[in-house]
Amino acid sequence: MTLEALSRKIQAGERLGFEDGVALFAHRDVMALGQLANEVRERLHGDRTYFNRNMRLEVTNVCVASCLFCSFAKLEEGAPGAHTMKLEEAWRELEARMDDPPAEIHIVNGLHPGLPFSYYEELLAGFKRIKPDVVLKCFTAVEIHFFARHYGMTYVEVLERLRRAGLDSLPGGGAEIFHPEVRQRIASDKATADEYLEVHRVAHRLGMRTNATMLYGHVETFEHRVDHLLRLRSLQDETGGLLAFIPLAFHPDGNGMKNLPAPTAIDALRTIAVSRLLLDNVAHVKAYWVSMTPEVAQIALRFGADDIDGTIVHETIYRAAGSRSPRGLTVAELVRLIQEAGRVPVERDTLYQVVREHPRAWVSEAALKVRERKANKHLEVL
């Protein structure tokens, strides 16, 4: 099917299917794809582009899983580079930032076999004691599944205990690629696709809102990506609990797939665009600047993305895999990135409620004159 035919289908409000998704991924003209995704993005959000004040924390990188793409995990405590924070150390990370505190703490960890469940409960409760209104978006579905198995509880029991301790939302990590042909190869010893989706389903039933991700650009095919997106779309049809979808670019340094090239910027933009078009029931598509660099994330805001994530402060997972993005950005830097892209920066909370809408970029006359001079220079050559 041609892009024009797909465009007509989208405009008629018809849902795209598996073959449509594959055709979109395979389409050579990424600019046209971007145009189509941008139309949908602007229909949903206009120029509004979201970000938040968040803080990433990885309290332990000790992990029993051996995912091929991971450069962060250490198999056992005491191994070189392995770390597990004492609770006080983790809390100090927040206390140290109370002059400009984050609105959200985003915690993702390894699957540590030696910690008591109470460690995680106390971790959350401690953050709430320090800042009662901080939103705790912690533990991927893979971690929740591990807790359930390791500590002999159901998903409901795990989530309810963590919620009593202060858990508000789940991040989207751990989805990788759902299709078993790929999942068996790259992440065979952790939650399956069905288990990942079931954790989110249960969380949604309990009234929580969550995010979802997809790790792309390694051994998967376009068909695997579309399968992944459609499984998320089905879950969303059922529960409506997904807030945002975040495509994550694979980074090859220091992991079991280091012989593979990293996905390129064009692939990142293509994936953002197709995600926007296929996930017609998920409100937000995020250009996670850590994974794709702030420069490419800026461009992605014209290819279907409406969110650029947040301040982050201290990211280590992508850093371990060779990411050259900075570890954190200030609010002023995020606002500038969004304004430069011609969008309106909107600071949000975890549930996408508006905290503050910033003004559209103001371009000085001097800057416009410089731009005009450059254009005239080209015209002189002509």
Partner 1 sequence: MSLLVDRAIESAGLHVVLCARRAGSLSSIHLEQLRAADLLALGALADRVRSEEVGAEVRVYTDSPPEAGGAAIVLPAGDAELTGLELLREVAVARIAGPPAGRVRVDWTRCGLELAQVALGFGANELVGVISTKRGLPIAPGDLAGVGKKSRLLPAQVVKRNELAGYVRRAGREPVFVGAEGVWEAKDTVAALEEVP
| Residues making contact with partner 1 (CB under 8 A) | 2-4, 7, 28-32, 34-36, 38, 261, 264-267, 269, 293, 295-296, 298-299, 302, 340-342, 368, 371-372, 374-376, 378-379, 381-382
- Cβ 242 to partner 1, closest distance in Å? 27
Separation of alpha carbons 149 and 40, rounded Å: 41
Query: What sign has the CA pseudo-torsion 95, 96, 102, 104?
Result: negative
Q: For residue 319, what are the contacts with CB-CB under 8 A and spacing of at least 6?
A: 327
Question: Which of residues 36 and 167 has its CB atom nearest to partner 1 in the complex?
Answer: 36
Taking every pair of C-alpha atoms in the chain, what is the biggest distance, in angstroms?
A: 75
Measured from the Cβ of residue 286, the count of other Cβ atoms closer than 10 Å reads: 27
The least distance separating partner 1 from the CB of residue 249, rounded to whole angstroms, comes to 10
* CB of 86 or CB of 369, closer to partner 1: 369
Round to whole Å and give the CA distance between 127 and 136. 8
Q: Which residue has the tokens 């197709």?
A: 274
Q: Closest distance between partner 1 and the C-beta of residue 250, in Å?
A: 14
Helices (H) and strands (E) in the chain, counts: 15, 10
Sheet harboring 307-310: ordered strands across? Answer: 307-310, 48-52, 344-348, 354-357
- If phi > 0 it is left, if psi is from -120 to 50 it is alpha, else beta; for residue 116 that is beta
| Nearer residue to partner 1 within complex by CB, 35 or 281 | 35
Closest approach, Cβ 158 to partner 1, in A, equals: 40
Q: To which residue do tokens 């997106």 refer?
A: 229
Minimum CB separation of residue 371 from partner 1 in Å reads 6
Nearer to partner 1, 226 or 301 (CB): 301
Question: Tokens 């202060």 identify what position?
Answer: 166
Shortest CB 304 distance to partner 1, Å: 11
Provide the minimum distance between the beta carbon of 363 and partner 1 in the complex, in angstroms, as a whole number: 10
Question: 3-class SS at 149?
Answer: helix
- Rounded Cα distance between 305 and 292, Å, is 12
Q: Which is nearer to partner 1, 167 or 269 (CB)?
A: 269
Residues paired with residue 242 on neighbouring β-strands, in sequence order: 210
Residues recorded for the chain? 382
Residue (31 or 351) nearer to partner 1, CB: 31
> How big is the CA angle at 105 (ends 103 and 111), to the nearest 5 degrees?
170
Contact 171, 188 (CB under 8 A): no
Q: How far is the CB of 5 from partner 1 (least distance, A)?
A: 10
Q: Considering beta carbons, is residue 366 or 375 the nearer one to partner 1?
A: 375
User: Least distance to partner 1 from the beta carbon of 224, Å?
Assistant: 18
Closer residue to partner 1, CB minimum distance, 16 or 134: 16
Q: Specify the residue, 23 or 103, whose C-beta has the smaller distance to partner 1.
A: 23
Write down the least CB distance from residue 110 to partner 1, Å. 29
The residue type at 363: V
Whether the CB-CB separation of 76 and 27 falls below 8 Å is answered with: no
Identity of the residue, 156 or 368, whose beta carbon is nearer to partner 1 in the bound complex: 368
DSSP structural state of residue 187: -
Question: Under the phi-then-psi rule, with left for phi > 0, alpha for psi from -120 to 50, and beta for the rest, what region is 325?
Answer: beta
The pair of three-digit structure tokens given for residue 169, joined into one six-digit string: 């939302």
